[in-house]
Amino acid sequence: MNRQQVSSSNIKAIGYDVPTETLEVEFLSGWVYQYYGVSQSVHGEFMKSQSKGRFLNQYIKNAYPYSRVG
């Protein structure tokens, strides 16, 4: 999955796969997590948010199933 680098103190890059609604988050630590069933609109709001970490914690982390993939 292609990821787009973002400006964040904790997140390095974010990717999104439309057909599977999979959101991929690469952290500065090198860890990569995939979140499943994330709508395109939520991904869009995530990308537009001023604080990526706050958005992830508030709207994604405990709302969608996920797995660590890297």
> Tokens 């057909």 identify what position?
19
pLDDT number for residue 70: 84
- Identity of the amino acid at 5: Q
pLDDT number for residue 1: 86
Tens-binned pLDDT, residue by residue, of the chain (70 aa): 899 999 999 999 999 999 999 999 999 999 999 999 999 999 999 999 999 999 999 999 999 999 999 8
CA distance 64 to 12: 20
